[in-house]
């Protein structure tokens, strides 16, 4: 079995990484190749076989593969060989509208991405709420696999406490410091603006450092599409983790998350740690720029705030946040984390053995 993996256009992360590592531990019969962005090559273990993400080697690997596993569109010109199988895991529970459902996209963009959708054989869904939205958004006519996300298995693993300690040590975060993970999503108008300008953090970093003091550290994590579009934040009290290989290790290292409309909210909620929503452009993002699949405000498992000052105040009283949102948080987990039991990767191992057979899990034709 020749298997090719791609995550976020050439990174060692996410669902493909979790599936690869689960398989690699249990079988040596397969040939595994990763598409690798040279800018993120340092995130790959030395024993992982890679080819450059762009170019002839990547195309050759994809066209020779028996199984392709990716978490986003592979925007290369390649032909899937007869009998090969392509699993698209995608990369999050959608709050914001995607693909055919977006309110706006550059001309021709969706048609280009549809070339990749046409290659997919299976589309993975993290939960029951996502299944119909993902199918409809992509116009996907193949099989939906409602199995949960392998990348989240680590969050329920017995090894989670040790991994948390290791990651915090690597990032230089002391045990008595509150680590605040900040995961803003991308904005279409910023990304596709003429001249590809740099993107700056909306959160007032200076105010965070000044008000929160040495007992807190900010961990900014930009969306993967913006990693090369912003200058790293390099100052006391801040550790820029935008290039850290896998965000799920950061979920364990963090004590609280600030986000906006990012799908990271759904994964982080598995941990039970506090969530704070810095939604400074909520109305324009929801009503004009991208659109939502559901109303965030009544479902949010944490406060929805408009200013940096409000965010900093909430960080200063996390116990009040926990108490006030205890019930909404539990309801959010029931709706979106019902398959996050630590065994999603196990449920997908049949793909390596008989990828064209009828799987023994929830499949929606």
pLDDT value, residue 205: 94
pLDDT value, residue 363: 53
Q: Between 205-212 and 308-315, two packed helices, what is the crossing angle to 10 degrees?
A: 30
- Please write the tens of the pLDDT for every residue from 340-354: 999 999 999 999 988
pLDDT value, residue 198: 74
Are both 231 and 140 inside the same structural domain? no
Are both 30 and 171 inside the same structural domain? no
- Give φ, ψ of 284 to 5 degrees: -70, -40
- Give φ, ψ of 16 to 5 degrees: -60, -40
Q: How far apart are the first and last CA of the chain?
A: 25
Question: What pTM does this model have?
Answer: 0.91
Domain with 23 in it: 2-152+342-364
- Residue pair 204/308 in contact (Cβ under 8 Å)? The answer is yes
Mark the ranges of the chain whose per-residue pLDDT is less than 50.
364-365
Count the domains in the chain.
2
Are both 141 and 191 inside the same structural domain? no
Q: 192-209 b/e with 16+ CB inside 10 Å = b?
A: eeeeeeebebbbebeebb
CB count within 10 Å of CB 6 equals 26
CATH number at residue 206: 3.40.50.12580
Are both 22 and 84 inside the same structural domain? yes
Are both 187 and 311 inside the same structural domain? yes
Are both 146 and 278 inside the same structural domain? no
CATH number at residue 63: 3.40.50.11820
Place of tokens 């996209």: 105
- Give the separation between CA 221 and CA 130, rounded to whole angstroms: 24
Place of tokens 């993107």: 199
Are both 139 and 222 inside the same structural domain? no
Are both 116 and 258 inside the same structural domain? no
- Residue pair 275/182 in contact (Cβ under 8 Å)? The answer is no
Are both 186 and 332 inside the same structural domain? yes
pLDDT value, residue 26: 74
Are both 358 and 320 inside the same structural domain? no
Are both 162 and 269 inside the same structural domain? yes
Are both 7 and 45 inside the same structural domain? yes
**Structure-block tokens of residue 141:** 């006519």
């Amino acid at each position: 079995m020749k298997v090719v993996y791609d995550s976020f256009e050439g990174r060692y992360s996410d669902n493909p990484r979790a599936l690869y590592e689960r398989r690699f531990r249990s079988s040596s019969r397969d040939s595994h190749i990763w598409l690798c962005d040279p800018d993120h090559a340092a995130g790959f273990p030395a024993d992982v076989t890679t080819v450059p993400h762009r170019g002839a080697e990547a195309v050759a690997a994809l066209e020779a593969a028996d199984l392709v596993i990716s978490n986003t569109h592979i925007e290369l010109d390649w032909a899937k060989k007869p009998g090969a199988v392509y699993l698209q895991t995608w990369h999050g529970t959608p709050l914001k509208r995607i693909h055919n459902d977006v309110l706006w996209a550059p001309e021709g963009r969706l048609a280009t991405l549809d070339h990749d959708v046409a290659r997919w054989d299976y589309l993975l869904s993290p939960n029951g709420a996502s299944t119909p939205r993902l199918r409809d958004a992509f116009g996907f006519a193949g099989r939906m696999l409602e199995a949960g996300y392998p990348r989240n298995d680590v969050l329920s693993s017995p090894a989670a406490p040790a991994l948390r300690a290791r990651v915090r040590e690597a990032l230089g975060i002391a045990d008595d410091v509150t680590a605040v993970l900040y995961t803003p999503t991308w904005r279409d108008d910023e990304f596709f603006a003429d001249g590809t300008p740099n993107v700056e953090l909306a959160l007032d970093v200076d105010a965070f450092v000044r008000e929160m003091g040495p007992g807190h550290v900010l961990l900014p994590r930009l969306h993967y599409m913006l990693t090369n579009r912003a200058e790293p934040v390099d100052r006391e009290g801040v550790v820029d983790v935008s290039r850290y290989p896998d965000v799920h290790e950061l979920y364990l290292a963090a004590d609280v998350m600030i986000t906006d409309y990012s799908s990271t909210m759904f994964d982080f909620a598995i941990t039970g740690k506090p969530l704070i929503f810095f939604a400074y452009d909520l109305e324009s993002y929801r009503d004009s720029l991208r659109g939502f699949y559901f109303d965030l405000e009544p479902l949010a498992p944490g406060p929805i705030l408009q200013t940096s000052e409000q965010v900093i105040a909430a960080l200063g009283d996390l116990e009040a946040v926990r108490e006030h949102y205890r019930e909404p948080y539990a309801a959010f987990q029931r709706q979106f984390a019902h398959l996050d039991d630590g065994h999603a990767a196990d449920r997908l191992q049949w793909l390596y053995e008989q990828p064209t057979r009828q799987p023994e899990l929830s499949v929606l034709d």
